[in-house]
């Protein structure tokens, strides 16, 4: 469902509860979505969009079209998880460059601004027009405060190094330990994981990355960290698919996971701590880093 905040002309997609008569939405028997705005909208609008499958992209396009037909001239899109971001290169013949397909769809809407949260790589940023990148720094700060002890940061692979050293500086120069993984390009399977440190001295290690899907990367890394004499292991990811089994993550040596509800609503537990993504997304014109 979609809900509009009357005070700010803000629409949420999806929304579980219908709190007003500002819209009508349903799906035809053949599968097409229908959307109609029932109240007058202003010149400026904000769409708070959480990707929940490709059907939700169609709903986003319909909502955008409806707002424009109602007179909205400037529409800001907040899309914390950008779909296709992990498919940012063609590794094998016959593959699609997924991130460009999604980016082209968004660019054609000519949004006033597009806000994304901790994208997988710079490719997404390069492909999107008028994009503002919201970094994961506030999420990490909050999680470390919740942990309540001295930690060191673990970069799980080469792709994370650039972001994690910037994060370290933002947090006052926390120590960073680099790790790396080797994948079979054709299958995507991890062949090996290397941690560039001899002895972690019983310190609490915080693994930082943009997304957790099946969790294999982090489980293999956790085993290596345990072999290097680490203390507690905390995983902090910006986006959590909910596919990884908590029991498997815990069995690998991970003591807790922090993430957001950028993809779906997941209940927090003693092991999994979920933060509200909208508490990290900026609503002021001068926030976010534009390309």
Q: Based on the structure, what is the number of domains in the chain?
A: 2
On whether both 68 and 88 belong to a single domain, the answer is yes
H or E stretch including 107? helix 98-107
DSSP assigned state of 284: S
On whether both 20 and 120 belong to a single domain, the answer is yes
| One-character DSSP codes across 27-63 | E-TTS-EEEEE-S---SEEEEEE---SHHHHHHHHHH
On whether both 118 and 142 belong to a single domain, the answer is no
Q: Which pLDDT belongs to residue 16? A: 45
Q: Which pLDDT belongs to residue 6? A: 44
On whether both 116 and 181 belong to a single domain, the answer is no
Tell me which residue range forms the domain holding 89.
3-135+281-290
Q: Which pLDDT belongs to residue 17? A: 61
Nearest one of 5, 53, 18, 7 to 33, comparing CA atoms = 53
On whether both 145 and 89 belong to a single domain, the answer is no
With a cut of 70, which residues of the chain have pLDDT below it? 1-8, 15-21, 185, 188, 283-291
On whether both 146 and 120 belong to a single domain, the answer is no
On whether both 160 and 129 belong to a single domain, the answer is no
pTM exceeds 0.85: yes
């Amino acid at each position: 469902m979609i809900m509009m905040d009357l005070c700010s002309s803000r629409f949420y997609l999806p929304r579980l509860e219908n709190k007003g008569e500002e819209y009508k939405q349903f799906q035809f028997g053949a599968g097409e979505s229908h959307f109609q705005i029932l109240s007058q909208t202003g010149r400026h609008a904000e769409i708070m969009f959480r990707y929940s499958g490709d059907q939700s992209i169609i709903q986003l396009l319909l909502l955008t079209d409806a707002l424009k037909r109602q007179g909205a001239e400037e529409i800001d899109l907040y899309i914390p998880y950008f779909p296709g971001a992990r498919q940012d290169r063609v590794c094998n013949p016959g593959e699609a460059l997924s991130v460009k397909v999604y980016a082209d769809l968004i660019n054609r809407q000519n949004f006033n601004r597009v806000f994304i949260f901790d994208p997988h790589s710079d490719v997404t940023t390069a492909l999107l027009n008028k994009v503002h990148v919201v970094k994961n720094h506030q999420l990490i700060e909050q999680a470390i405060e919740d942990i309540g002890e001295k930690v060191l940061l673990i970069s799980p692979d080469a792709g994370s190094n650039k972001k994690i050293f910037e994060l370290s500086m933002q947090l006052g120069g926390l120590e960073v330990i680099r790790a790396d993984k080797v994948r079979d390009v054709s299958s995507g399977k991890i062949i090996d994981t290397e941690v560039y440190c001899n002895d972690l001295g019983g310190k609490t290690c915080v693994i930082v990355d943009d997304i957790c899907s099946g969790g294999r990367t982090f489980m293999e890394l956790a085993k290596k960290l345990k072999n290097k004499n680490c203390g507690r292991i905390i995983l902090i990811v910006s986006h959590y698919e909910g596919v990884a089994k908590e029991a498997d993550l815990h069995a690998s040596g991970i003591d807790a996971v922090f993430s957001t509800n950028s993809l779906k609503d997941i209940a927090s537990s003693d092991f999994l701590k979920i933060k509200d993504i909208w508490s990290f997304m900026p609503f002021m014109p001068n926030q976010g880093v534009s390309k």
